[in-house]
Amino acid sequence: MSRDDSAGVDAAARAAWEQTLADAADLAERRETAGWTVLFTQAGETTLETDTDEGGPAFSHLVPDDDADEITEWVAGGSFPQYDVHRAREAGTVFLVVELLDPERERCLLVAAAYPLAEAAGIYESTAGDGPLRTRLRRLDETVVASFEHEDGEKFFPSDGGGRTGRRG
């Protein structure tokens, strides 16, 4: 790949990340219009773990300390049994917004994240494409501030066609 090609990939990835943040803002606005309380965070890093202390594979998202404190308080006493994942693939990276939903309290936690597609094979195989999977939010020191289990991990992975898949549910 030439230097000019590399710059194009970086520009495409930046544009995809900007679109991911715009999608998150749109989702937040829709939820708020429907009467939900929304908390948004963006992962500084997302790692794909095939086996966690809680058991099984997880997407582990590094969140800013200020957000971590708020998330800890915000999810306490709640249950987030529903989720949705909005994703796109660009320049070898999967960009996603995870909606974690607590319908009883009408709360929605939105997490914008990205991960390299090349790293997805191990975790995809761990879930067999449709097995349980966790979303973990953590601090820089690896302290987990919130963890959510999802019965179907398929929503987190791109379809064979790639590109924007839109709402899945």
In a domain, 163, yes or no: no
In a domain, 78, yes or no: yes
DSSP 111-137: EEEEEEGGGHHHHHHHHTTTS-EEEEE
Find the domain containing 136 and state its range. Answer: 3-156
Q: What is the pTM of this model?
A: 0.85
In a domain, 162, yes or no: no
3-state secondary structure of 67: helix
Instruction: Give the type of residue at 102.
Output: D
In a domain, 7, yes or no: yes
Question: What digits encode the pLDDT tens for the residues 3-56?
Answer: 344 455 588 889 999 999 999 999 999 999 999 999 999 999 999 887 666 667
| Both tokens assigned to 7 | 């710059």
Question: What digits encode the pLDDT tens for the residues 112-146?
Answer: 999 998 888 777 666 655 567 889 999 999 999 99
Q: DSSP code of 106?
A: T
In a domain, 120, yes or no: yes
In a domain, 20, yes or no: yes
Q: How far are the Cα atoms of 19, 31, 32, 38, 40 from residue 26, in angstroms, in the given order? A: 10, 9, 10, 12, 12
State the pairing for strand pair 107-116/37-42. Answer: parallel
In a domain, 105, yes or no: yes
3-state secondary structure of 159: coil
Query: How far is Cα of residue 142 from the mean position of the Cα atoms in its chain?
Result: 17
CB 122 within 8 A of CB 138: no
Cα 74 to Cα 40: distance, rounded to the nearest angstrom: 11
In a domain, 161, yes or no: no
| Both tokens assigned to 66 | 């200020």
Local confidence band at 168 (pLDDT 50, 70, 90 cut-offs): very low
Cα 109 to Cα 111: distance, rounded to the nearest angstrom: 7
Number of domains comprising the chain:
1
Question: What digits encode the pLDDT tens for the residues 53-85?
Answer: 666 788 999 999 999 999 999 999 889 999 999
